[in-house]
Amino acid sequence: MAALPTIVVLISGSGSNLQALIDATQSGALKAKIINVISNRKAAYGLERAAQAGIPTQTFSLKQFRDAGKTRVDFDIHVATAIQALRPDLVVLAGWMHILSPEFLSHFPGENVINLHPALPGQFDGAHAIERAFEAFQQGKITHTGVMVHKVIADVDRGQVILQREIPILKTDKLEDLEARIHSVEHEIIVEGAQAFLNALQK
C-alpha cells in the first residue's frame, strides 16, 4: 500500500480549521497524514488539538528572534528550514497570522504552500477580511462574500485559486452571524482544497 501524502499545518490561534483537517484525515475524507503542526504563538489552542491527535508540534516566536536582534526574514527562513526538514508534500496555512516573505517561499519552489482566506479572489486581501466584507455589504457595495483556498505567493492572497465558494450575506445578519457562516464553510473548503491539491500532485 502506497504511503499517504504528508502535510504540515501552520496555525496561530484556536485551530478550528486544523481540527477540520485532523477529523478529515481520521475519517479518510482527506487522504493524507498530518506530520507536524507549527505555531507562531505558544498559547495557540491548536497546539492542544494537535497533541490530542498525537501530532508532533513546534513553536517559533518572532518576538524571540527580534529580541535576539534578528529580522522577520531570519524568522521566516528558520521556519522554512524546519518545514523543509520534514519534507512534506503540502504545507497548509490554517489561520497562520503572519505574512510570509519571498525568502520563505523560495524554499518551496514546487508551490506546495496553500492558504485559506475568508474572501473571494481579488476582494478583501489581507487582514480583517470578514469585517471589511460586512461593512461593504452595509454600504450596499456587495451582496455576498466567500472563502477561497489558494497557493501562496509574495503578493498576499493573489496566488492561484484552488477552490472558492460564495457565501451570501443576509439583511438580518450581524457580524457574528456572518463569521459563523464563513467559519463553517472554511472547515469544509480547507479539506476539499487540500485534497484537490494532492490529487493534482499525483496526476
Give the pLDDT of the chain (203 residues) as one tens digit per residue: 568 999 999 999 999 999 999 999 999 999 999 999 999 999 999 999 999 999 999 999 998 999 898 999 999 999 999 999 999 999 999 999 888 899 999 999 778 999 999 999 999 988 899 999 999 999 999 999 999 999 998 877 788 999 999 999 999 999 999 999 999 999 999 999 999 999 988 77
- With respect to residue 177, please indicate whether it lies within any of the assigned structural domains: no
- With respect to residue 127, please indicate whether it lies within any of the assigned structural domains: no
Model pLDDT, residue 126 = 84
- With respect to residue 175, please indicate whether it lies within any of the assigned structural domains: no
The number of distinct structural domains making up the chain is 1
Model pLDDT, residue 159 = 84
- Of 117, 128, 144, 187, which one is the catalytic site residue? 117
- With respect to residue 180, please indicate whether it lies within any of the assigned structural domains: no
Model pLDDT, residue 130 = 95
Model pLDDT, residue 1 = 52
**Got the DSSP string for 166-177?**
EEE--TT--HHH
- With respect to residue 179, please indicate whether it lies within any of the assigned structural domains: no
The CATH number that applies at residue 69 is 3.40.50.170
- With respect to residue 33, please indicate whether it lies within any of the assigned structural domains: yes
Instruction: For CA atoms 101, 106, 108, 112, give the dihedral sign.
Output: positive
Domain that holds residue 198: 6-122+146-167+185-202
Model pLDDT, residue 2 = 65
Beta-bridge partner residues of 91: 8, 113
Answer yes or no: 117 catalytic.
yes
d(CA 39, CA 95): 10
- With respect to residue 93, please indicate whether it lies within any of the assigned structural domains: yes
- With respect to residue 86, please indicate whether it lies within any of the assigned structural domains: yes
pTM (2 d.p.): 0.93
Cβ atoms within 10 Å, residue 32: 21
